[in-house]
Structure 1
Amino acid sequence: MFSTGQWMFALFFVIAFVGIMIYSYRKDISLHKKYYKGSFWVLIGFLFFIGLLVVAKYFLKN
């Protein structure tokens, strides 16, 4: 399905992409702490809402 060269490129791309993402996050970690304080609670609220939708769908289906 894929040639050896395509697999090598995909592997290199994934490793490089993850490496650059880690480097960028480490570089901006002080800004994240300053400007995105409390965003964890937004994530928790979003996941809770999705959970409520799943539970409602389950109970309304039966």
Structure 2
Amino acid sequence: MFSTGQYIFAALFFIAFVIAMIFTYRKDAKLHKKNYKGSIFILLGFIAFIVFLFILKTQLN
């Protein structure tokens, strides 16, 4: 299905992408803490809503 060269390219691309994302996140970490201070509560709200919908679905079936 895929050649050995394609697997090697995919692995190297994935490693390079993860390293680039780590460096970018570290560079912007202070800015994110300043600008997105209360965003964790919004994330928790979305997760709670999805869990609520899942529970509701399982109880009604």
Query: Scaled by the length of structure 1, what TM-score is found?
Result: 0.95
**Structure 1 unmatched runs, 5+:** none
Q: 1:53: which partner in 2?
A: 53
Percent identical among aligned pairs is: 57
- Unpaired segments ≥5 residues, structure 2: none
The CA RMSD over aligned residues, in Å, is 0.5
CA distance in 2, matches of 1:46, 1:37: 17
TM-score by length of 2: 0.96
1:3 partner letter: S
Give the number of aligned pairs.
Answer: 61
C-alpha deviation, 1:56, in angstroms = 0.4
Matches within 5 A, 1:7-18: 7-18=7-18
* 3-state SS of 2:53 partner: helix
Distance 1:6 1:48 in 2: 41
CA offset at residue 38 of structure 1?
1.0
